[in-house]
Chains A and B, each alone.
Chain A
């Protein structure tokens, strides 16, 4: 029998089932809701069948892992060869305390490092800036000068680990510090391995940690990508991030679409700078969130790879396979965790981990269950890491590639995610791209609306969040003590910084800052002069102040 005839037979039988079997059952057992929807408001059907994937062209739409369009994964054998990198985002207090946490995590089996910086560092202020009051070492580690970075990696060989840095506005300065520590350790620059997030576009509408206005910010991003393409072959200079877009309130479709739109903007900007797409695209990486809705999340990751591969080939003319594959890091969702009955967050994180692994991620951070309350305690972060290890070694899902492929539901949702994301991308193209979208508040409005809608659904109990709007208890039990930042941290950091400023060669530091001023004011790539400034122990705040003079400061566009 031909495939077409077979499908027709199945469709007829399905229609018959809808007409006879379903009403009979629903007559006595009505469905729990009128509509079942994902977070992105995609209707979830009662049943998916061969009719839902009748147009699926296996070789064209799925292919084989390690091959175009990479829907099934970017490597031929996926986790049978190497598990994803287990990379816990960490940082608190002083560099010395975070160094100890890094070593603890490595002992417990983590396979990559990831630095969480404190707010002053993220915003380009030194610990002694008046705006840093009360914030030093509180939400991450304080890294004002190269000295702090040296302490952070004391006893850790940069030639042997890979390090991810969640840093954007001051990405160039923190990367420069990492390079300087590598130089001091005698590690060849071509061996330095890791990632700078360096995704400024999403800062303007999602994470909102911008220092400079959009255009100079984009220039810094491109300077870093260009520098890494030429000098740091194992570095991922940009991690195009949907995570923050999602955490700010976007739904899964918006996360997917806006992230890819940002990616398009970076590729276009690099090509405008005169680089060939196949020279830089292989090192571009992505970063997504994993939420609780398993089908939608798994479909999102698979659709993301397919969209990117086709875009790179068809829109940008990439020829190399590595330019078309989307490598991704995933973090489980912070905003789904509840302060109420925090122990339940372990289960949420487990579901999200499963979504990320079934979705084919390359690297994963799992949140700790106490993170709605504080930065993670040592005990809680160990449970988070163990969650990944259990999924890796005990669940069996890492033993075959893309095990949900061919599921009627997953394939239909993958198609739907792709289609809806591409509609958004067309809309963004029509308004002139991402920067005009930011300037007119398009993304901000979209995200604020989704966030408001989601919160209202929770308030009206249309969405049940266990332990909050349903199944609440009086006492919220936390098995371990919350991590507390030592109150002395700020004072210690201020003493270190003033000592450094006294002891360094101030004339030399000043000269490097003057050189940076000149470079920033011209078309020159600023990376080399920033590396020189960092090596002369010019501080983060001093370097950012020079750039604030040249570039100006960003003023937020407020959209409620």
Chain B
């Protein structure tokens, strides 16, 4: 049997806009993935610890507080430090276009904004997975 893709849906930052994160969690689960949702207000440290413990293939970060330029690069830096280089990291929320290049530079594979279709997200994950499952 094929191993399921494991996804950590995580909410860094202090905001409480979890409607998008919960929708993504449920929709990815419906698409056949194993989804772990962290809940609100996770620090970069706690997200990376959860990724390590849950042995995930993908981290999907949802942030709408505006602190993405501070917190998202902290997640990728910590991942590298912990040797989790083969985890695919993606982000979504309210992230202005002009911030996207710097985030990609910092190791976020893709940034999804409002209006994203679930099918596109599923395809992106399947096409860009770094680990073989």
Contacts and interface: CB of A to CB of B under 8 A. Distances in A.
Interface stretch (B15-23, B48-56, B77-85): B15-23
B5 interface: no
Interface in A433-463: 448, 451-452, 455, 459
Interface string A105-128: 000000000000001101101000
A249 B40 CA distance: 17
A174 B118 CA distance: 41
Among B16, B25, B69, B117, the one with the most A-chain Cβ atoms within 10 Å of its Cβ is B16
B133 interface: no
A560 B37 contact: yes
Interface stretch (A83-91, A335-343, A509-517, A541-549): A335-343
A208 B18 contact: yes
B67 A135 contact: yes
Among B18, B70, B113, the one with the most A-chain Cβ atoms within 10 Å of its Cβ is B18
A119 B70 CA distance: 15
A139 interface: yes
Interface residues of A, number: 36
Given A119-B13, A119-B14, A248-B19, A338 B115 contact: yes
A528 interface: no
Contact of B23 (A455, A468, A558): A455
Contact of A131 (B40, B43, B118): B43
Contacts of B35: 560
If over half of A's interface residues share one DSSP class (helix, strand or loop), that class is named, otherwise mixed; here it is loop
Contact of A139 (B22, B23, B66, B114): B66
If over half of B's interface residues share one DSSP class (helix, strand or loop), that class is named, otherwise mixed; here it is loop
Contacts of B39: 556, 558
Contacts of A482: 96
A459 B15 CA distance: 26
B102 interface: no
A459 B26 contact: no
Contacts of A448: 22, 26
Contacts of B41: 123, 131
Given A339-B114, A468-B115, A135 B43 contact: no
A373 interface: yes
A503 interface: no
Given A374-B96, A482-B96, A134 B71 contact: yes
Contacts of A560: 22, 25-26, 29, 35, 37
A133 interface: yes
Contact of B67 (A138, A468, A556): A138
Contacts of A134: 13, 65-71
Contacts of B66: 134-135, 138-139, 485
B14 A451 contact: no
Contacts of A340: 114-115
B65 A138 contact: yes
Contacts, number: 84
Contacts of B29: 560
A34 B111 CA distance: 38
A372 interface: yes
A208 B23 CA distance: 16
B15 A451 contact: no
Interface in B115-133: 115, 117-118
Interface string B68-94: 111100000000000000000000001
B113 A139 contact: no
B66 to A, nearest CB: 4
Nearest to B22: A560
A207 B41 CA distance: 13
Contact of A119 (B18, B37, B65): B65
B114 A372 contact: yes
A335 B41 CA distance: 21
B105 to A, nearest CB: 17
Given A139-B65, A339-B114, A372-B94, 14 more contacts: A119-B14, A123-B41, A131-B41, A135-B65, A138-B65, A138-B66, A339-B113, A372-B114, A451-B22, A451-B23, A452-B22, A468-B115, A485-B66, A560-B22
Interface of B: 13-16, 18-19, 22-23, 25-26, 29, 35, 37, 39-41, 43, 65-71, 94, 96, 113-115, 117-118
